Amino acid sequence: MDDSPEKILTAVDGGPQAEAVARMAANFATKMGSELHVVHVGFVPAMYHPEMRGYPSRVEAVRQETQQVLDEEVRRVEAAGTRGSRSHLRMGRPDVEILDLAEELGAGLIVVGSRGLGGLRRTLLGSVSDSVVRHAHCPVLVVREGARP
């Protein structure tokens, strides 16, 4: 019996450790013979009046920025030797979108990064990786800042 996940979802944010996260996910996908999916989530804070002037253009600007980051992350994954990875652009709360996509795909593993915020900062700011770990339907690999694949 093979316990390797058929699909791996890696969530990247374009931050300084994104390269380590992408490389780690690519290594796992290659070694396990898994299909690799890369997601980047764009987030525009909710406004009281979405019809306010400029809001639609801000959403579109964030969508374009998100696509650029996603394209760069896919290039990193492919540079790490994983071909045929699939990319997904999502808009919304990052933790919710990552979890929803993982379920839609039937992912067997989620790979996310963590900046290692202290307890107080994590409590005040929240943590995407903490939320994903707590609510995921499958195993989650958290790549800490400074980790080397």
Please report where in the chains the tokens 């890696």 appear, as a residue.
Answer: 10
Note whether residue 2 is domain-resident. no
Q: Which residues contact 123 (CB under 8 A, 6 or more apart)?
A: none
Render pLDDT for 5-64 as a digit per residue (tens, 0 to 9): 999 999 988 877 788 888 889 888 988 989 999 999 998 876 655 556 667 777 888 899
Note whether residue 92 is domain-resident. yes
pTM: 0.84
Domain residues for 18?
7-144
Note whether residue 76 is domain-resident. yes
Render pLDDT for 50-107 as a digit per residue (tens, 0 to 9): 556 667 777 888 899 999 999 988 888 887 777 668 999 999 999 999 999 999 999 9
Instruction: Quote the number of domains for the chain.
Output: 1
Q: Residue 17: give its domain's CATH number.
A: 3.40.50.620
